[in-house]
Structure 1
Amino acid sequence: MTREARRVVITGMGAVTPSGLSAAETWNTVAAGRSAIDVLEGSEFADLPVRIGAQVRGFNPEAAIKKAVARRLSPVQRWAVAAADEAMRQAEVLAGDPQAPQVHLPTAPHRFSIIAATGSGPVEAMQQATRSYLDGGPRATPLSLPIYGAPDAAAALLSQRYQSTGQAQAISATCASGAVGMGEGLRRIRHGYADAVLVVGMEDCLDPIHLAANATLRSLAPGYEDDPTAASRPFDADRKGFVMAAGASAILLEAEETAHARDAVPLAQLAGYGAASDAYHPTAPHPDGAGAAAAVTDCLADAGVTPDDVDHINAHGTGTVQGDTAELRALETALGTRSAEIPITATKSATGHLLGAGGVVEALLAVCTLQQRRIPPTLNLDRPDFPDHDFVTGEARSAELDTVLSNSFGFGGHSGVVLLRRWQ
């Protein structure tokens, strides 16, 4: 088998999200149709025009990371480490005490790569450093900022934790970051630059500054403080915007032969990837979803499948008027008449929008969908604005599934699409 023909499999998954502090908890919450969206806790949110979101709750960083290390990290980096550890443990390459884990990489250290997929990185680090500087001057600025304040810091931290010497870097493409990170990991293995890639999606923009800015842009759903679980309404006629969320998720990719050599059991295959740009507007999608359609078309071609082979779509589905419309037009362009027949769900209705981490979270949910043969419901889809499409609503739907298409689109026209396949 040539390197170019290598199949890429998923052998481990982890998550720290508003829906749960593990991959299993996150899946179970979403599949049960339970929303993680609530009124935001914290006095800093009191004066904002939008005060709802999906927060990570109940996470104890010291259960996963040494206290001396944890106190230097932003919350998003702590979540990233915990999610990465969970994925590595499921893949049986990490064991022992979380404070000092034993690592048995699935390949040589220089053949193990790490990608931190994030739209904004550890924004809290810069915000805290700015406050310290303004309050106390230059000498009050935290020394940790140059070390842990960049988007790639989590990748560097994890490479040291696991003693991997392959490429370790960040990838950023706004809300498509997670899907792009998955796709670049796929290519890295398929074309022989690595045997295994750990992809960690991470985001924490659930702060007053980002909330205020997005509210001013009218991107966020307003007026749901009395009923926050009703706010995220993808594809519904009454949708008003997205609901911001925070969290992290990790997926371990391996070459098929690498997993086989150590008797690892694949969870699914990452079979295809496509990415493109609208080149249209800083925030609005192309009205016809041109970039998104190109990404879907390229993803199917990359996987060697046709629209008839797609069994389910986990849509980007944020609940914005323009975004949902553009996505369905893109699917109609890329999939033709088949787009009306494929069951569609939008899990952001339950998790909130994890921005740059969303693509990895939704790939994880796609893998669980394939394994459980259950499609999670889209919440709050009471009046479909697009009645010709098959949306899964109400409760999870049982279905025979072999492939799931997972879409991620973002500001700036970024598009990333991955295709997951049941492992045969």
Structure 2
Amino acid sequence: MAGIATAACSSGLLFRNRDAGGNGPFLAQYNGLRAVESVQLASAGTKPNQFISSSAPRRRTIRAMASPTISAPKREKDPKKRIVITGMGLVSVFGSDIDNFYNKLLEGMSGITEIDRFDASNYSVRFAGQIRELSSKGYIDGKNDRRLDDCWRYCLVAGRRALEDANLGSEVLDRMDKTRIGVLVGTGMGGLTAFTNGVESLIQKGYKKVTPFFIPYSITNMGSALLAIDTGLMGPNYSISTACATANYCFYSAANHIRRGEADIMVAGGTEAAIMPTGVSGFIACRALSQRNDEPKRASRPWDKDRDGFVMGEGSGVLIMESLEHAMKRGANIIAEYLGGGVTCDAYHMTNPRSDGLGVSSCITKSLEDAGVSPEEVNYVNAHATSTLAGDLAEVNAIKKVFKDTSELKMNGTKSMIGHGLGAAGGLEAIATIKAITTGWLHPTINQDNLEPDVTIDTVPNVKKQHEVNVAISNSFGFGGHNSVVVFAPFKP
């Protein structure tokens, strides 16, 4: 493990060049940009700090462009374009009940245990946020349930539960225009078990023994497709796959479908089931995972000095996003409001984040601009916080660049208890963010024993805190340099 900076998706995973003695491209402190402020990246005249390697590649000067005029942010007023949350559904290591899920988080309970889905006794990492008990009764018929990859099983249960939560059961949906209701549930890995089993059949038994479900249950769009087939929803339907940023990308795109008048309701979120030999082996090979096998429940420890990598998780998190006009007309229960979002790309490296942090800081700024919110209004951040050496500090430094005064800001890491759900992470964390808004309680970031001194923002260490959320953001970043941020707030008519 020497010479590797263990980390997670995009603003987390960094590799040192072992052949060069561990001095490959490494993380620089974030130097977020303000409007019309130019920065010369990794060039002569810029004094590198301790994180920058002399072997870091040269990059051209980038200039952040300012708007022609500066005005106070304005939130959307048109009820056809305002997006509200009317339902939530999940599958998690703490079960499928929303309140139970959040209560476990508030208690600071860890859902990380030893893997028993397969024999991992010889693996260098033998623990994860594995889901053990999932009841799909009433949501998936038995014949299909036996065939499905867990990725799609989680999606169908979470999606159907979200529809139920929004009072959109089959009888109600049958009276609605289903061409105006879309589904956008993404995944980072897709049907990984179905794919692996198909390849094994091909190699061991020949092509004639490959199941006809091999391709349909492997491809990443099948979660959205199966949910639509099951419910008859005929609106916009596809999936997005941007690694660990997936679910937030889906929320952002789903909201824009509603704002453009292409749908009244979107079922959106993320799903993932990669805790199986191929998935675990792949992340071990990336040297991204914590190896705290003797203390699995203490392995995920965002911002703690002793963190050593992320912990794999799984599940699904789905929101019902609806135009305010449509929700009011049908008398829906409005849980919270989606104000806006932002997506950017580091355009730099498959796994390493940009050393200047422009991708992350600009994504946060874009999300606030889309939401019509000033930085001063935000007082809660559900952080990406994967418990990796580089990613945790990179995110904090980017946040500090956008939010100049963090004295009233609270920030926590859901992954400290449920692990990193990859493509599902943003969905599960959006639900945690919305529950913080509706309950007035923030769950703790557990395993905070020795906080990094650079982390000067309140991380809600180890014990829950009461906090009235004004505006919240939820961050997700993924391999490929994909950055996504979404903004939620209490609903106010």
- TM-score, with structure 2 as normaliser: 0.82
Q: Distance in 2 between matches of 1:84 and 1:397?
A: 30
**What is the correspondence of 1:118-133 to structure 2 with a 5 Å cutoff?**
118-133=187-202
Aligned twin of 2:83: 8
Instruction: Indicate if the aligned counterparts of 1:123 and 1:205 stay in contact, CA closer than 8 A.
Output: yes
Residue 215 of structure 1 and its aligned partner are, at CA, apart by 1.8
Cα gap change, 1:229/1:179 in structure 2, threshold over 3 Å: closer, same or farther? same
Q: Distance in 1 between matches of 2:77 and 2:114?
A: 53
Which of 18, 25, 46 is the equivalent residue of 2:100?
25
Give SS of 2:195's match: helix
2:391 is aligned with 1:323: yes
What letter corresponds to residue 310 of structure 1 in structure 2?
V
Aligned twin of 2:358: 290
Give SS of 1:264's match: coil
1:394-413 CA-to-partner distances (Å, cap 9, x unmatched) read 21100121211100011111
Give SS of 1:321's match: coil
Q: How large is the Cα RMSD of the aligned pairs?
A: 1.7
Which of 212, 223, 242 is the equivalent residue of 2:281?
212
Residue 3 of structure 1 and its aligned partner are, at CA, apart by 6.8
Q: Distance in 2 between matches of 1:19 and 1:199?
A: 21
Aligned twin of 2:62: none
Identity of aligned residues (%): 31
Which of 331, 341, 345 is the equivalent residue of 2:412?
345
2:49 is aligned with 1:49: no
Cα gap change, 1:210/1:43 in structure 2, threshold over 3 Å: closer, same or farther? closer
2:212 is aligned with 1:150: no
Give SS of 1:126's match: helix
**Quick check: 15-24 or 178-187, which moved more?**
15-24
Which of 145, 154, 164 is the equivalent residue of 1:70?
145
Instruction: Indicate if the aligned counterparts of 1:233 and 1:380 stay in contact, CA closer than 8 A.
Output: yes
**What is the correspondence of 1:167-206 to structure 2 with a 5 Å cutoff?**
167-206=236-275
Aligned twin of 1:371: 438
2:320 is aligned with 1:252: yes
Q: Distance in 1 between matches of 2:78 and 2:471?
A: 23
Unaligned runs of 5+ in 2: 1-75
Instruction: Indicate if the aligned counterparts of 2:316 and 2:424 stay in contact, CA closer than 8 A.
Output: yes
What letter corresponds to residue 263 of structure 1 in structure 2?
G
1:77-124 CA-to-partner distances (Å, cap 9, x unmatched) read 111111111110111111xxxxxx545268511111101211111111
Give SS of 2:215's match: helix
Instruction: Indicate if the aligned counterparts of 1:106 and 1:196 stay in contact, CA closer than 8 A.
Output: no
What letter corresponds to residue 261 of structure 1 in structure 2?
K
Aligned twin of 1:98: none
Residue 71 of structure 1 and its aligned partner are, at CA, apart by 1.8
1:174-209 CA-to-partner distances (Å, cap 9, x unmatched) read 100011101111111112111110013101111222
Residue 19 of structure 1 and its aligned partner are, at CA, apart by 2.3
Larger radius of gyration: 2
Aligned twin of 1:164: 233
Instruction: Indicate if the aligned counterparts of 1:196 and 1:253 stay in contact, CA closer than 8 A.
Output: yes
1:148-185 CA-to-partner distances (Å, cap 9, x unmatched) read 22111111111111111112111111100011101111
1:111-152 CA-to-partner distances (Å, cap 9, x unmatched) read 111012111111111101111112211110001123222111
Which of 38, 57, 67 is the equivalent residue of 2:113?
38
- TM-score, with structure 1 as normaliser: 0.95
Q: Distance in 2 between matches of 1:299 and 1:218?
A: 32
**Quick check: 313-322 or 286-295, which moved more?**
286-295
Residue 62 of structure 1 and its aligned partner are, at CA, apart by 4.0
Cα gap change, 1:170/1:81 in structure 2, threshold over 3 Å: closer, same or farther? same
Which of 342, 354, 368 is the equivalent residue of 1:300?
368
Q: Distance in 1 between matches of 2:340 and 2:407?
A: 22
Q: Distance in 1 between matches of 2:484 and 2:175?
A: 27
Give SS of 1:171's match: coil
Instruction: Indicate if the aligned counterparts of 2:95 and 2:133 stay in contact, CA closer than 8 A.
Output: no
